[in-house]
DNA sequence: CGTGTCCTTGAAGCGCATCAATGTTGGTGG
DNA sequence: CCACCAACATTGATGCGCTTCAAGGACACG
């Protein structure tokens, strides 16, 4: 039933570096199965010590933290190809929760074998570190957004980052891509209120830069959007798949 | 002149896990030299492709990003024992700049040998990944602070995190520790204005929780501080030294 | 046809930024 | 030794960007 790594639909996308034959064999052996979860299902909980690791194959989700007072911070979005559970794998405890936004299918790995990555496949171990470094880079940029950008700049920044990822994943058609989140999710990611996020999205729509409704994000003027966001629009670096 | 890893002053501190004899030998071989830089000196620049990696031995510094409009986001602080340059090592480019706040002495490694970590010492490779995961965890918490905490909560959060690190580093005496930064640095870390940061520090001082002046941070009531910050006060996990 | 979820819009108020000025300290050169 | 200046901390006043409160509309679902 499960997809053979050899036929993994992700491998063909622009965003990802291709597997070597060696790596393919290694991962095939490492893969424990596949999991399908419905929209809204929690996958990992903050503080949990999951015995499993995942990589997203289809669907989208999000990572978030909850404060004692109930406020939620969305840490980032999960797209196909993302590796899930690194913190549990190395530290034994997740620093955030993970939840499916759409129905998702996930590739499942056994955490107990994680160490064999490092022992028997240095190149795969390096790839994991590479992913961790990219994530660190992204979180640093997010910090700069929450700390230093205005609401308009922040929303423009977020939409442009999302669209870049969409392009790399080749899910953009006619400058539109599926984007199945709620405005509340974006608000919680940017530290803004829902109301203000809504009004800010309206501004970007009025200015003919980007419009997002009914789960579809359309970018009309990427150049202007990135200009407002004070960010470059160069494509994302290729990343390994785990 | 350079400190022998065997006598590394960091190894004795609570915060760090001790080297195995093997690791000691390995790191000794890997270490290329020592570097001393004055306060205010830039060490790495955002976007640069540094041929060298470092770990801080003495002194403190900070990592920051600069936006095109000139605003600065401090990503985090650098304490003794911190590894510097991971992003350059794996991605070939730093996502932030690094600068010394006090005079610093750094352990220098050669980036070109980084790959041998993964090939010949799986446990050291794992440690690097562990550090990356901890960093990711911390940045997630920072994000939650900027996004979801008020100025008072944010400053309380920052001071409590700093003090926890100070305790683990064993530089706390009489509930005070050296903290040689400017208020502007803290403001830029929390996305607040200098003025408001100053006033907020005043509130915490008035409420007998924490006071910071003349480069010394004193915590009078850690429990209350953490309560305001909505964060736990449990000690930090031990971390490896690179 | 009621109920729940999400998006939208208006109105009021506060937390914070910004502006401005003064104080303090340490360094530097005449 | 003092005049001067630069860097940083402090404090008051003003105003705006945002949050919060509130209400209504659109759509899906049982």
**CB neighbour class for A112 (10 Å; exposed up to 12, middle 13-18, buried from 19):** exposed
Any strand D atom closer than 7 Å to A150 CB = yes
Q: Give the pLDDT mean for A169-184.
A: 98
Helix (H, G, I), strand (E, B) or coil at A19: coil
Quick check: A1 pLDDT over 80? no
- Give the tens place of pLDDT for each residue, B44-77: 999 999 999 999 999 999 999 999 999 999 999 9
Average pLDDT over residues A43-67: 97
**Average pLDDT for A29-43:** 95
Confidence of residue A19 (pLDDT cuts 50, 70, 90): confident
Residue B7 pLDDT: 87
pLDDT band for position B207 (cuts 50, 70, 90)? very high
In whole angstroms, give the CA distance from residue A21 to residue A1. 22
- CB contact, 8 Å: B234 with chain A? no
pLDDT of residue A16: 97
A130 and B CB contact within 8 Å: yes
Choose among A132, A143, A185: nearest CA to A162.
A185
pLDDT at A59 over 90: yes
Furthest C-alpha separation in chain A: 55
Q: How confident is the model at residue A235 (pLDDT cuts 50, 70, 90)?
A: very high
Q: How far apart are CA B86 and CA B91, in angstroms?
A: 8
Can you give the pLDDT at residue A155?
98
Which of chain B's residues 182-221 bind strand C, using a 7 Å CB cutoff?
Answer: 191-197
B151/C15 CA-to-C1' distance in Å: 9
The span from the CA of A229 to the CA of A198, in Å, is 17
Please indicate if any CB of chain A lies within 8 Å of the CB of B47: no
What per-residue confidence (pLDDT) applies to A131? 98
The pLDDT tens digits for A186-201 are 999 999 999 999 999 9
Residue A7 has pLDDT above 70, yes or no: yes
Sequence-ordered alpha helix ranges (H) in chain B: 21-30, 86-91, 114-120, 122-148, 151-168, 183-190, 194-206, 222-229
Our CA dihedral for A28, A58, A237, A219, rounded to 10 degrees, sits at 170
Worst-scoring range by mean pLDDT, A112-116, A208-212, B59-63? A112-116
CB A135 within 8 A of CB A83: no
- Report the nucleotide nearest the CA of residue A150, measured to C1': D17
Percent of chain B at pLDDT > 70 equals 100
For B99-114, write each residue's pLDDT tens digit.
999 999 999 999 999 9
Instruction: Sheet containing B104-110: give its strands across.
Output: B31-37, B104-110, B52-58, B83-84
Q: What span, in angstroms and rounded, lies between the C-alpha atoms of A137 and A125? A: 19
Residues 201-230 of B with CB under 7 A from strand D: 201-202, 213
pLDDT of residue B215: 97
Which pLDDT score, from 0 to 100, does residue A5 have? 84
Whether the predicted pLDDT of A4 surpasses 90: no
Band (pLDDT 50/70/90 cuts) for residue B188 is very high
pLDDT digits (tens, 9 = 90+) for B117-171: 899 999 999 999 999 999 999 999 999 999 999 999 999 999 999 999 999 999 9
- Determine the Cα–Cα distance for residues B4 and A38; give it in Å rounded to an integer: 56
Q: Among B1, B4, B2, which residue's Cα sits nearest to residue B24? A: B4
- Name the residue among B68, B95, B133 with its Cβ closest to that of A132: B133
What DSSP letter does each residue of B141-195 carry, written as one string?
A: HHHHHHHH--HHHHHHHHHHHHHHHHHHTT--BTTEEE----HHHHHHHHT--HH
User: Within 10 A of B22 (CB to CB), how many other CB atoms are there?
Assistant: 11
Residue B1 above 80 pLDDT?
Answer: no
Interval A56-73 mean pLDDT: 97
Predicted confidence at residue A137, as pLDDT, reads 98
pLDDT at position A203: 98
Residues of B in contact with A87 (CB under 8 A): 133, 136-137
Q: Where does B11-100 have alpha helices with state H?
A: 21-30, 86-91
* DSSP H/E element including B35: strand B31-37
- Predicted TM-score of the model (pTM): 0.96
Mean pLDDT of A205-216: 98
> If pLDDT is split at 50, 70 and 90, which confidence band does B9 have?
confident
């Amino acid at each position: 039933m499960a997809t053979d790594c050899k036929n993994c639909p992700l491998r063909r996308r622009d965003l990802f570096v291709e597997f070597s034959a060696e790596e393919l064999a290694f991962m095939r052996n490492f893969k424990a199965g596949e999991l399908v979860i419905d929209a809204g299902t929690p996958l990992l909980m903050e503080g949990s010590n999951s015995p499993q690791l995942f990589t997203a194959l289809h669907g989208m989700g999000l990572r978030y933290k909850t404060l004692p007072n109930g406020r939620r911070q969305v840490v980032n979005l999960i797209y196909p190809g993302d590796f899930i559970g690194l913190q549990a794998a190395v530290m034994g405890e997740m620093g955030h929760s993970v939840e499916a936004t759409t129905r998702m299918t996930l590739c499942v790995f056994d955490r107990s074998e994680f160490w064999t990555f490092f022992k028997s496949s240095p190149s795969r171990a390096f790839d994991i570190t590479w992913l961790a470094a990219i994530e660190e880079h992204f979180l640093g940029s997010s910090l700069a957004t929450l700390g230093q950008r205005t609401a308009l700049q922040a929303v423009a920044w977020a939409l442009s980052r999302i669209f870049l990822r969409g392009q790399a994943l080749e899910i953009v058609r006619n400058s539109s891509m599926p984007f199945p989140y709620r405005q509340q999710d974006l608000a919680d990611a940017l530290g803004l209120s829902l109301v203000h996020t809504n009004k800010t999205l309206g501004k970007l729509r009025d200015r003919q830069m980007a419009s997002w409704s009914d789960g579809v994000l359309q970018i009309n003027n990427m150049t202007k959007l990135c200009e407002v966001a004070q960010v470059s629009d160069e494509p994302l670096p290729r990343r390994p798949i785990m």
